[in-house]
Structure 1
Amino acid sequence: MRVMRTLMRWLLPVILLCSFCSVAFWIFISNNNVIPHPASRIPQKASNTQSCKACKDSVIIGKALGNYSNSWKKHEANYKRFRLLLNEKCHAVSKAVVTQNNTPLGSNVVYDGERRKPLQVTQALYNILAKEQPFGNATWESCAVVGNGGVLANSSCGEEINSAQFVIRCNLPPLDDRYEKDVGNKTNLVTANPSILHEKYSGLMERRRPFVESLHSYGQALLLLPAFSYGHNTPVSLRAFYTLEDFGREGPLPIFLNPEYLRKLTKFWREQGLNSVRPSTGLIMASLALEICTNVHLYGFWPFGKHPNDSRPITNHYYDNRESKKNVHSMPSEFEQLLKLHKQGVVHIHLGECQPAHR
C-alpha cells in the first residue's frame, strides 16, 4: 500500500501536466489559425518542382536568344584566329580520317573510349583504309552543317542549304519529299553512328539491301563511320563497309573517323570550357567544317523544346521526338559554345525560317 501511495503521488502530477500541455497546444493552434496539412496536399511540391524546371528552361532559352542575332556579320580576324587555334590543336585535314598514311600497317589504333584495348592494323584492315585524306588541301568557300533539331521543321531552309558548296549531315537523317523543302537533299558528307545500324538494320546481320537502298538519297557522299570509338563499334562498321563493297559501292564512300582526332578535339573543347564526356556528332562536324571551309553555316542546332521565335513546342528532331543521350552529350552547353562563335562572327547559326533569296 505504501508503494501504491508513493506511485500515485508521483503519477498524478505527471498526468495533470500532460493534460495542461495538450490543452495549451490546441488553444495555440486555434488562436493562430494553424491547420495541419493533410497528406493529400504533399504532391503539390511536385508541381512546384515542374514549375521551377520550366522557369529554369525559360531562363536558359532567354539567355541563348539574348546572345543570338539575326543580323550576323562575319568577323574575319576572329574567324582566322579560331581556325588557326583549332588547326594547331586538332589538324582535321591530316587527322580527321583514318588513312594508310597516318595509320601504317602493323601500328595500333587506340580506341578513344577504350584506350586499354588497342587494335592492331592487319593487312586486311590496312587494305580498306583510305589511301589519303578525302579533304586534301582544298578549302570550300561555303559549308552547311545540318543538325537534326526540330527547329528545322517548317523552316523552308532546304534551298539555302543546297546552295552551300559542301553539305555535311549527321546520323543518316531522312531526306525524302516530306522534308526536302526544309532540309534540302544535297549531301557531301554524312555520318552514321553504329547504334543506328543496329536499331534500323539489325547490325547488318540479316538482309543488307535495305541499308544500301536507304543510302541512295546521299548520292556519292562520304559516309563517315566512328568504327574505332569503342571496340563493339568496329565489327558493325566494317560490315557497313563490306556491304557497300559487295553491292558494287552503290552510293556513299565509307571512311572511318580517327579516334586520335576525336581525343584531340575533346581536349580542345574542354579547354574552351565544355565539360561533356565527349562532343556530339554535330559539334564534331561543326569543328571539322571550321577547318575545311571559309564560311560555316549551321542549321538545326537548337537543343530546346520550344521554338526560338514563338515558344511553341517542337520535337527533338525534325523527323521524330527521340531524346539524345544526355549522360554523354551536353547539348545546351555545346550550343552555348557555338553561340559564342556566332556572336564573335566565326560561324553563322541559322534559327527559324530561312529567306527565299540565296545568301
Structure 2
Amino acid sequence: MAGLMYKCPRTRLPVGASALCVFVLCWLYIFPVYRLPDEKAIVQGVLMQQGKAWRRNQTAVTVFRKLLEDCCNPGQLFAMTRQNSPLRKNLWYDGEFLYSFSIDNATFSLFPQVSKHLVPLSLSSSLVDYIAHRSGCGKKIDHAEFVMRCNLPPLSAEYSKDVGSKTQLVTANPSIIEKRFQNLLWSRKAFVDSVKVYNHSYIYMPAFSMKTGTEPSLRVYYTLADVGASQTVLFANPNFLRDIGKFWKGKGIHAKRLSTGLFLVSAALGLCEEVTIYGFWPFSVDLHGRFISHHYYDNVLPDSGFHAMPEEFLQLWFLHKSGVLRMQLEQCEDPLSQPAA
C-alpha cells in the first residue's frame, strides 16, 4: 500500500498583520516590558548607606569619563557649535523618527565657534534639580565654581537658603516656554524679567530635539538678543542627546526619554572635574517617611511612562557609591538652626 503524501499548504500573514508584528517587535526592543523598582525598597536601600562617609574615587571617575567620551564626546558635542554643526550639514532630530533639518546661514550664525572651554574641566560643579524644601543646601550649592539648574526654576529669596542663588547654566525645555510664556507670541516682558535672576548664565535648550521645539527655542534666542540680555543661549546638539540616551539604555534605563536632569548630569560628568548633585530624589517621601513635593516650588509630576525616574535614581546612586559623583540626600543644615525668613 503506497504511502499517502500530503503537502501542507503554505500560509502567509496579510501584509497589515506582518507590519503589525514587526512594529510590536521593534517596540518591545526599544521599550521592553519591565517592572519598575519598588519605591520603598529603594528608600530602605539608601537608608542602609546613610552615615557612611563619601569618598571620591579618582580611578572610577577616570573610567566613567572615558566611557562618556567614547560614546558621546560631551567636550565637543555638548552644544551646537560652528565646528561640530557646519553650514548646510543635515541633522536628524533626536526625538523624531521622520524629521531632519539642514543648517542654513541664519541658524549657523547663532552658534558659538567651539564648545571647548564653555564649561572648563577643572571646575567643581553643583547640579540642582527637584530638591526637598528646607534642605539648607544653598551655601554649599553656591560654593561650587559652576552651578547648573534644570528647567528655569524660581530663585527668589524665599528659596535661597535651600537652593542658593548662583547659576552658570540653566536648562529651558520648549514646553516650558509654551506653558509659562505662551511661546513668546504675545508679551515677551514676563520671560525677560524671569531670566534676569540667572545673571550671566547660559540658557541651554534642546532646540533640535523635537521639530515642535525649534521655533520656540529660536524665539528665546532672538528675544534675549533683542533686549541685550546678559544670558547666552546654547542649543543642545541632537547627536549628543541621542548618544547619551543610547548610553543609558545600555545600562538598563527603560524610558521613552531621559529626564533633563540625567542629560545634564551626564554632561557635567564629562565636562567637570568634581560633580555634586542636589535634589535628585524622585520619590513622594523623604528618608524619614515624610511627604515631599516633586519640586521645591510645586508638585507637578512628570508624564507617567515618559521618564523612568526610579531607574535613573538607581544609576546615579550607584555612581555615588562608586565615588564618581556625590549625591546630597540629607539636609545640609538643621532647619531648626536656620533663622526665620
Query: Which TM-score band (shorter chain)?
Result: 0.7 to 0.9
Correspondence list, 1:10-49, <5 A: none
1:204 matches 2:184: yes
Per-residue Cα deviation, 1:185-211 (whole angstroms, up to 9, x for no partner):
100000001111011100100000110
2:313 is the counterpart of 1:335: yes
User: What amino acid does structure 2 have at the position aligned with 1:325?
Assistant: D
Q: Report the counterpart of residue 236 of structure 1 in structure 2.
A: 216
Rounded Cα–Cα distance in structure 1 between residues aligned with 2:153 and 2:257: 21
- Give the equivalent residue in structure 1 for 2:330: 352
Decide which structure has greater helix share: 1
- For structure 1, the residue ranges without an aligned partner over 5 or more in a row are 1-54
Structure-2 separation of matches of 1:238 and 1:208: 13
Q: Which of the numbers 238, 256, 264 marks the counterpart of 1:285?
A: 264
**Distance in 2, Cα, partners of 1:181 & 1:193:** 26
1:73-84 equivalences under 5 Å are 73-84=55-66
Matching of residue 191 in structure 1 with residue 197 in structure 2: no
Letter in 2 for 1:129: F
| Percentage identity across paired residues of the two chains | 38
The answer to whether the aligner puts 1:325 opposite 2:307 as a matched pair is no
Partner of 1:12: none
CA shift for structure 1 position 67: 4.9
Give per-residue Cα distances to partners, 1:63-108, cap 9 Å, x unaligned. Answer: 3433555511111111111111111111111101111111111111
Once the two structures are superposed, residues 14-34 of structure 1 have per-residue CA deviations (whole angstroms, 9 ceiling, x without a partner) of: xxxxxxxxxxxxxxxxxxxxx
Partner residue in 2 for 1:219: 199
Question: Residue deviations 1:112-142, cap 9 Å, x none?
Answer: 0113211111111111122221635831331
Aligned residues: 298
User: 1:69·1:343 contact (CA, 8 Å) conserved in 2?
Assistant: no
> Deviation at 1:225?
0.7
- The answer to whether the Cα contact below 8 Å between 1:168 and 1:190 also exists between their aligned partners in 2 is yes
Higher mean displacement: 114-123 or 281-290: 114-123
C-alpha distance in 1, partners of 2:51/2:281? 14
Range moving further from structure 2, 105-114 or 127-136: 127-136
Distance 1:252 1:141, change over 3 A: same
Q: Which residue of structure 1 aligns with residue 87 of structure 2?
A: 105
**Residue 307, structure 1, aligned to residue 289, structure 2:** no
Letter in structure 1 aligned against 2:166: K
The alignment's C-alpha RMSD in Å is 1.7
Report deviation, 1:59: 2.4
Which structure has the larger Rg over C-alpha atoms? 1
Q: 1:276 to 1:135 in 2, by over 3 A?
A: farther
CA distance in 2, matches of 1:114, 1:208: 29
The equivalences for 1:137-148 within 5 A come to 138-148=120-130
Task: Give 1:178's aligned residue.
Answer: 158
Contact 2:203 2:231 in 1 (8 A): yes
Structure 2 CA distance for partners of 1:302 and 1:70, relative to 1, 3 Å: farther
Q: Deviations over 1:174-233 (max 9, x none)?
A: 000010010001000000011110111001000001101100110010000110111000
1:126 aligned partner, one-letter code: F
Quick one: structure 1 residues 220 and 70, their matched pair in 2 at CA, closer, same or farther if it must change by over 3 Å?
farther
Match among 115, 118, 139 for residue 97 of structure 2? 115
